Amino acid sequence: MNTEQMKAAMESMKGWLAHPQELGKSPAKIECAGSFEQNGMRYYIFKYKKGLLGKWLLGVCGGYEGEALGHCGHVFSLMEEFLQETAVEKAKELAEKAASLQRERTESVEKRKEHAGTFVCSVLLEKPEWDKEALLKELKEAWQIEDEPVGEESEKTEDEFSFVICHHNALISVGLMPAPIPHEEAKYHAPDNYMWQGASEAAKKHTAHLLVAVMGRGMPALEAGKIFVKTTVSCCKQPGVLAVYANEIVYQPEFYTEAARMVQEDDIPLLNLIWFGLYRRKTGVCGYTNGMVLLGFDEMEVIDSTAAPSEIRDFLINIAGYVIDENVILRDGETIGFSAEQKLPITKSMGVAVDGNSLKIKFPG
Contacts of 176 (CB under 8 A, 6+ apart): 128, 129, 130, 132, 161, 162, 208, 210, 211
| pLDDT beyond 90 at 37 | yes
Pairing mode, strands 57-64 and 74-76: antiparallel
For residues 82 and 47, the answer to whether their CB atoms sit within 8 Å is yes
For residues 277 and 287, the answer to whether their CB atoms sit within 8 Å is yes
How does residue 15 score in pLDDT terms, banded at 50, 70 and 90? confident
In this prediction, residue 113 carries a pLDDT of 81
| pLDDT beyond 60 at 185 | yes
Q: What is the mean pLDDT of residues 242-255?
A: 98
| pLDDT beyond 90 at 364 | no
For residues 203 and 122, the answer to whether their CB atoms sit within 8 Å is no
Q: For residue 216, is the peptide bond before it cis, meaning its omega torsion is within 30 degrees of 0?
A: no
150 or 301, greater pLDDT: 301
| pLDDT beyond 70 at 152 | no
Going by C-alpha positions, the residue among 79, 4, 78, 83 that lies closest to residue 44 is: 4
DSSP class of residue 20 equals T
148 or 10, greater pLDDT: 10
Rounded CA separation 358/355 (Å): 8
| pLDDT beyond 60 at 155 | no
Going by C-alpha positions, the residue among 180, 172, 107 that lies closest to residue 143 is: 172
In this prediction, residue 46 carries a pLDDT of 98
For residues 354 and 110, the answer to whether their CB atoms sit within 8 Å is no
For residues 301 and 361, the answer to whether their CB atoms sit within 8 Å is yes
For residues 200 and 188, the answer to whether their CB atoms sit within 8 Å is no
In this prediction, residue 153 carries a pLDDT of 52
| pLDDT beyond 90 at 159 | no
Q: What is the mean pLDDT of residues 149-163?
A: 71
Q: Where are the domains of the chain?
A: 3-113, 117-271, 275-361
The sign of the torsion formed by the CA atoms of 133, 138, 139, 141 equals positive
Going by C-alpha positions, the residue among 261, 176, 274 that lies closest to residue 225 is: 274
Q: For residue 180, is the peptide bond before it cis, meaning its omega torsion is within 30 degrees of 0?
A: no
Identity of the amino acid at 68: A
| pLDDT beyond 90 at 149 | no
Helices in the chain by DSSP H: which ranges?
Answer: 3-17, 87-114, 132-143, 185-189, 199-205, 221-235, 253-259, 261-264, 270-273, 309-326
Going by C-alpha positions, the residue among 17, 108, 107 that lies closest to residue 61 is: 17
* SS3 (DSSP) at 28: coil
Rounded CA separation 3/68 (Å): 12
| pLDDT beyond 90 at 22 | no
200 or 156, greater pLDDT: 200
For residues 247 and 239, the answer to whether their CB atoms sit within 8 Å is no
The most confident of 38-52, 109-123, 329-343, by mean pLDDT: 38-52
In this prediction, residue 70 carries a pLDDT of 85
| pLDDT beyond 90 at 287 | yes
Q: For residue 220, is the peptide bond before it cis, meaning its omega torsion is within 30 degrees of 0?
A: no
Give the model confidence (pLDDT) of 54-95 as tens digits: 999 999 999 999 998 889 989 999 999 999 999 999 999 999
Give the model confidence (pLDDT) of 304-349 as tens digits: 999 999 999 999 999 999 999 999 999 999 999 888 888 999 999 9
